Structure 1
């Protein structure tokens, strides 16, 4: 996540609650170090964002603060609309609804003269094959990914055998109209890719896996790069 995106995310987190949020909680949610979080808070305050609080006490955003108007170019708006249309066609039902809601909110937040760019875009995502059918709640899986909860999977492998796995979910990958759960598998002690339509049952376990998700994703990316070179 780029710093500008992270600063925006901090504001969004603070806007979502009226009670103070500690620097440690913010750092954990953003998956950054506490030192980086403190630098970000200092930058926001230097930009005169009305945040009160300090290290060790927690931070609060003043109630009267509102984000500046959404200012995007026509190309940026069309890119957002195309991306949302693709998600609406390819993602699980909950995320698909969120994508359609996003387009609706964009059309309300931008100047009237730019609304046709979103509502009648010159680009369109076309779906030619049937949607992937999954036996679990996609929103539940995404929540487990964000919160670093371990999962127990009942999975049908490529040989049609049923296996039970304990995994650390890292991300959902979209590839050739298929969706894959990228995870560290405790059972196999390595990174594994699970086709989501082969998951027969998904249970969120109570415990969180150790370490930071971003670090594990970088390790997975290095492993994939090494596999390509090999």
Structure 2
């Protein structure tokens, strides 16, 4: 059995969340216990939530896994490009996630599909404009998940600052900048705020519900193209 196949089989075994002894794993895969120890170090090093030690056993906690995928060369290049974009143009949490995900992919793809020494031959778009708003991304994502209002000091295109209380609905990337569509309590309307123009972002304790006319679905309806002819 190839090592990549064996690592995949180990993941499938550990997905049940129970404790497995190295001896039993070695017998199931017809390898030595020393091989199992090395494989476990590899899986843990790739970022999988594996706990345990030699002589006790191993288990996977809170696993999130995908079914087997067969990727074409073009799909693999697209995946690597996307990870490179995230690695350069996102906040630290997402950068770390992109790095660990790339390591996992490299550990299981066939030898002939690994990145060539000269790289994938892709130019990554300059993300200087987007970087200004990265510091706010973790807090914005938290507010969106928890439906909590944000107190915001925002600088517009002319450089004027204003204070807003907003209901953040989503984060969107437009090639150069990230924006946050939101319901603005001050304007009583939907507004889209560029994250690189946010001077101060504070998470408040005030939560919001999906009220009619203020929800994300209402926002999508407001920006959808009209069916009527101009």
With the length of structure 1 as denominator, give the TM-score of the two structures.
Answer: 0.59
The offset of 1:172, in angstroms, is 1.6
Residue in 1 aligned with 2:171?
Answer: 172
The question of 1:78 aligning with 2:77 is answered yes
Residue in 1 aligned with 2:209?
Answer: 210
The offset of 1:169, in angstroms, is 0.8
- Equivalents in 1 of 2:64, 2:138: separation in Å? 28
Cα root mean square deviation, aligned: 3.7
The offset of 1:183, in angstroms, is 0.8
The question of 1:105 aligning with 2:117 is answered no
Residue in 1 aligned with 2:161?
Answer: 162
Please tell me whether the aligned partners of residues 135 and 201 of structure 1 are also in contact (alpha carbons under 8 angstroms). no
- Equivalents in 1 of 2:103, 2:186: separation in Å? 43
- Equivalents in 1 of 2:62, 2:130: separation in Å? 44
Moved more, 193-202 or 171-180: 171-180
The offset of 1:193, in angstroms, is 0.9
The secondary structure found in structure 1 opposite 2:171 is strand
* Aligned ranges 1:35-184 → 2 under 5 Å: 67=65, 70-74=68-72, 75-116=74-115, 120-127=119-126, 129=128, 131-134=130-133, 136-184=135-183
The secondary structure found in structure 1 opposite 2:69 is coil
Q: Specify every segment of 5 or more residues in structure 2 that has no aligned partner in the other structure, as ranges.
A: 1-14, 19-59
- Equivalents in 2 of 1:175, 1:66: separation in Å? 29
The offset of 1:199, in angstroms, is 1.0
Q: Specify every segment of 5 or more residues in structure 1 that has no aligned partner in the other structure, as ranges.
A: 1-14, 19-61
The secondary structure found in structure 1 opposite 2:186 is coil
The secondary structure found in structure 1 opposite 2:159 is coil
Could you list the per-position Cα deviations for residues 57-90 of structure 1 after superposition, in whole angstroms to 9, with x for gaps in the alignment? xxxxx98998576323123322211111122232
With the length of structure 2 as denominator, give the TM-score of the two structures.
Answer: 0.59
Could you list the per-position Cα deviations for residues 166-205 of structure 1 after superposition, in whole angstroms to 9, with x for gaps in the alignment? 1111112222412211111111111101111221111111
Task: Give the length in aligned residue pairs.
Answer: 170
Could you list the per-position Cα deviations for residues 75-126 of structure 1 after superposition, in whole angstroms to 9, with x for gaps in the alignment? 3322211111122232234323322222112212434443338x94354424
